[in-house]
Amino acid sequence: MPLKKLKERPAVSQNKKLAPRYQSFQNLLNVLEMKDIPAHDLSGINENIQALNDIPGEGKPFSKQLRKSQMNILKIVREKYKWVPKNYYRTMWMPLGMGAFGIPLGAAFGASMGNMAFLGSGIPIGMAIGIFLGIMLDKKAKENGNQLDVDIRY
């Protein structure tokens, strides 16, 4: 079973916001086409492509479905094959680092100095920790061959 093709939409290239996201989705499909994916998983991916192709025009419903289809396809390949796009872990770990490491560090700074105005000083430190952890996980995914050669625009 081959991977379905996206319907040609020349008006999308005129939209400054939608064009990069549409091209990113097309690049994702091109990369997945080169992978060996079983038919039962291809049917789920094709359903998402068909849902996008069924939307007429290039308005807000198309934009919402584009994002939804892209996220669904990425979820399928991430859960089944552990394939992730470039910078996936960095994007995921940056806010986690800010919340999980930054705020507690800031609270510790503020409590130790007796001034809770230092609460915000931990957030950039947590962000740096999160980015570092994300970059390390992205590097590990690339070494294991689990990184797709596509940069996703969310």
The pLDDT tens digits for 93-106 are 999 999 999 999 99
Query: Contact 3/33 with Cβ under 8 angstroms?
Result: yes
pLDDT of amino acid 24: 93
The SS3 assignment for 37 reads coil
Token pair of 127 as six digits: 């962000």
User: What per-residue confidence (pLDDT) applies to 118?
Assistant: 87
User: φ and ψ at 85, to 5 degrees?
Assistant: -75, 170
User: How many helical (H) and strand (E) elements, i.e. helices and strands, does the chain have?
Assistant: 6, 0
Estimate to the nearest angstrom the gap between the alpha carbon of 34 and the chain centroid: 20
Which residues are paired to 32 by β-bridges?
none
Cα separation, 101 vs 126, whole angstroms = 5
* pLDDT at position 1 over 80: no
**Residue 84: strand pairing partners:** 147
**In this predicted structure, what is the pLDDT of residue 96?**
96
- pLDDT band for position 108 (cuts 50, 70, 90): very high
Nearest Cα residue to 68 out of 95, 50, 86, 80: 50
- Say what angle helices 88-97 and 122-143 make with each other, to 10 degrees: 160
User: pLDDT for 12-61, tens place per residue?
Assistant: 888 888 889 999 999 999 999 998 888 888 999 999 999 999 998 888 89
